[in-house]
Amino acid sequence: MRCCQSPFFYQRRRTREVVVGDPARGGVIIGGDHPVVKQSMITCDTLDTAECIKQTLDLVAAGCQIVRITAPSVKDAANLKTIVAELRARHCLVPIVADIHFKPDAALEAARWVEMVRVNPGNYADKKKFAVREYSDGQYAAELARIEEEFTPLVQLCRQLGRAMRIGTNHGSLSDRIMNRYGDTPLGMVESALEFARIARRHDYHNFKFSMKASNPKVMIECYRLLVARLEELGPDWNYPIHLGVTEAGEGEDGRIKSAIGIGSLLCDGLGDTIRVSLTEDSPREIAVCTDLLAQIQSLTLPAADAPAALESAIRNPQPAILPTSFDPFAFARRQTPEIQLGESSKCGGEQTVRVVVTRAAWDKVAPSIRPKDDVRPEAVYEDLNVHEIDPAADFTINCDTQLVTVKDGVELPAIAAFRLLAARLKALGRNNPILLKDCLGFEAAPLEPNIALLRASVVIGSLLADGIGDAILIRGEAGAGQSLRLAYNILQAAGCRSFKTDYVACPSCGRTLFNLQTVTARIKERTAHLKGVRIAIMGCIVNGPGEMADADFGYVGGAPNKINLYVGKTPVQFNIPEAEAVDRLVDLIRQRGKWMEPEA
Given a contact cutoff of 8 angstroms between Cβ atoms, the answer to whether 484 and 253 are in contact is: no
Residue 4 pLDDT: 86
- pLDDT tens profile 113-170: 999 999 999 989 876 665 667 888 888 899 999 999 999 999 999 999 999 999 999 8
CATH class of segment(s) 503-592: alpha beta
Give me the half-sphere count of Cα atoms (radius 13 Å) on the Cβ side of residue 42.
30
Write the CB contacts of 411 (distance below 8 Å, at least 6 apart in sequence).
Answer: 391, 392, 393, 418, 441
Domain boundaries, the chain: 18-304, 320-494, 503-592
- pLDDT tens profile 300-335: 987 766 666 656 665 655 544 444 566 889 989 999
Residue 322 pLDDT: 47
Return d(Cα 502, Cα 185) in angstroms, integer: 25
Residue 152 pLDDT: 98
CA proximity to 536, closest of 493, 496, 567: 567
Write the CB contacts of 70 (distance below 8 Å, at least 6 apart in sequence).
Answer: 41, 46, 76, 98, 99, 510, 511, 512
Q: pTM, whole model, 2 decimals?
A: 0.93
User: Helical H runs in 203-341?
Assistant: 217-234, 252-259, 265-268, 284-300, 309-316
CA proximity to 508, closest of 34, 8, 44: 44
Element (H, E) at 165: strand 164-170
Return d(Cα 340, Cα 560) in angstroms, integer: 54
CA proximity to 67, closest of 107, 24, 103, 97: 97
C-alpha angle 518-173-30 in degrees, rounded to nearest 5: 80
C-alpha angle 142-145-151 in degrees, rounded to nearest 5: 145
Question: Helix 74-89 and helix 49-62: axis angle, to 10°?
Answer: 60
Q: Is the domain 18-304 a CATH 3.30.1330.40 member?
A: no
Residue 92 pLDDT: 97
Return d(Cα 247, Cα 225) in angstroms, integer: 17
Residue 323 pLDDT: 47
Beta bridge partners of 571: 568
Return d(Cα 102, Cα 561) in angstroms, integer: 19
Residue 124 pLDDT: 92
- pLDDT tens profile 447-497: 889 999 999 999 999 999 999 999 999 999 998 999 999 999 999 999 999
Dihedral angle computed from the Cα positions of residues 350, 356, 359 and 363, in that order, rounded to the nearest 10 degrees: -130
Identify the segments of the chain with pLDDT beneath 70: 127-132, 304-326, 444-445, 542-550
Residue 321 pLDDT: 45
CA proximity to 248, closest of 591, 570, 576, 536: 536
Residue 442 pLDDT: 84
Residue 3 pLDDT: 87
